[in-house]
Structure 1
């Protein structure tokens, strides 16, 4: 088996690449929903280490 991009079908039945659907904003929302303490940790890290 080789490397295959993760994809799925849209409402019309066409294959859509996951990279086209999961942009940075949607991933951030997903990660924060799955791990509520993540946003607090990121804010604390950013405050402690301003760059």
Structure 2
């Protein structure tokens, strides 16, 4: 498991690292749920960046 912090147990009771549980897709979903305006801000920043180029 290397230097990943252990923080969860799977259905069999084995330790699972947080890095294995929280992938980028799940983190994105969590951040958008906790901060609904985040998605709008990211879209606005993306449009601003693409219009500058």
Q: TM-score interval w.r.t. the shorter chain?
A: 0.7 to 0.9
Aligned length: 48
Runs of 4+ in 1 over 2 A off after TM superposition: none
RMSD over aligned CA atoms reads 1.6
Gap regions ≥5 residues in structure 1: none
Please give the TM-score of this superposition, normalised by the length of structure 2: 0.81
Please give the TM-score of this superposition, normalised by the length of structure 1: 0.84
